[in-house]
């Protein structure tokens, strides 16, 4: 039996717009028109309307009847909730990952870290951001908790745009890479306390990140 599931037109429009919003190709406050997006993709307005609805449910779009749909800005309330959930989940995931961590896991994480270092040297922050995402996902997957990552993804996406903006800050990518190395070392050490301490330190950087972005990009906040 063929398990391949065809991507619908709605899925294609949704995934493209999602990636553009999260990667800040489309900035907060940008107006989106069903007609213009439909013309861009060469589709009818219905799949675009469906994609808009999905993005609105994820709090990335604000659909206003009789007015233009806009990309939502950052909400401090939603960000704080997402951060609380994420740190609680990742501390438990690291605890479980250590129970199964081996040389193969360590090697795969090291390969990702090497690519992060290369991206920084090439000043390729978009690629670095993607590798940052992959690094955290690897810990879930290698620690036998891939489905937990999917559950946590909604919380992560709420701050992903902030993380990308924070890379404008001098040496921010270097600090993130240093944190990632500390987390990898903690996992390799077999010490739950050390690994969780590294995760907590890493995620707490968002306090400074939010303050920095609010100061430099206040128009992006609701």
* pLDDT, tens only, 129-140: 889 999 999 999
Q: Please write the tens of the pLDDT for every residue from 40-99.
A: 999 999 999 999 999 999 899 999 888 889 999 988 888 888 889 999 999 999 999 999
Boundary-marking domain end, from 71, 91, 120? 71
Q: Please write the tens of the pLDDT for every residue from 139-185.
A: 999 999 999 998 888 788 777 777 777 766 658 899 999 999 999 99
Query: Given this model, what pLDDT does residue 2 score?
Result: 42
Residue 112 contacts residue 66 (beta carbons within 8 Å): no
Query: Given this model, what pLDDT does residue 93 score?
Result: 97
In a domain? residue 14: yes
Tell me which residue range forms the domain holding 203.
76-220
Residues facing 69 on adjacent strands: 32
In a domain? residue 83: yes
Kindly state whether residues 58 and 85 are assigned to the same domain.
Answer: no
The helices-and-strands tally (H runs, E runs) of the chain is 10, 3
Structural domain total, the chain: 2
Read off φ and ψ for residue 31, nearest 5 degrees: -85, 135
Kindly state whether residues 80 and 57 are assigned to the same domain.
Answer: no
Query: Given this model, what pLDDT does residue 170 score?
Result: 55
Locate 67 and state its tokens. 């007015």
Kindly state whether residues 87 and 162 are assigned to the same domain.
Answer: yes
Query: Given this model, what pLDDT does residue 186 score?
Result: 98
Kindly state whether residues 64 and 158 are assigned to the same domain.
Answer: no
In a domain? residue 188: yes
Query: Given this model, what pLDDT does residue 3 score?
Result: 42
Residues facing 32 on adjacent strands: 69
Boundary-marking domain end, from 26, 56, 71? 71
Spatial distance between the Cα atoms of 190 and 195, rounded to a whole number of angstroms = 8
Residue 202 contacts residue 182 (beta carbons within 8 Å): yes
In a domain? residue 2: no
Largest CA distance in the chain: 58
């Amino acid at each position: 039996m063929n398990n391949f599931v065809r991507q619908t037109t709605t899925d294609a429009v949704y995934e493209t717009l999602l990636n553009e919003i999260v990667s800040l190709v489309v900035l907060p406050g940008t107006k989106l028109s069903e007609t213009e997006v439909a013309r861009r993709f060469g589709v009818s307005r219905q799949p675009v309307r469906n994609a808009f609805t999905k993005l609105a449910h994820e709090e990335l779009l604000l659909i206003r009847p009789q007015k233009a749909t806009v990309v939502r800005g950052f909400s401090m309330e939603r960000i704080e909730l997402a951060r609380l959930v994420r740190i609680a989940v990742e501390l438990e995931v690291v605890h479980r990952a250590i129970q199964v961590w081996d040389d193969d896991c360590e090697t795969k994480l090291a390969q990702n870290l090497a690519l992060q270092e290369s991206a920084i040297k090439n000043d390729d922050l978009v690629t670095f951001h993607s590798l940052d995402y992959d690094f955290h996902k690897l810990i879930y997957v290698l620690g036998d908790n891939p489905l937990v990552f999917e559950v946590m993804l909604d919380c992560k996406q709420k701050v992903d745009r902030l993380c990308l903006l924070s890379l404008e800050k001098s040496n921010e990518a270097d600090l993130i890479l240093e944190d990632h190395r500390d987390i990898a070392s903690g996992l390799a050490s077999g010490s739950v306390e050390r690994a969780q301490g590294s995760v907590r330190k890493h995620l707490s950087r968002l306090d400074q990140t939010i303050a920095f972005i609010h100061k430099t990009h206040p128009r992006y906040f609701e």
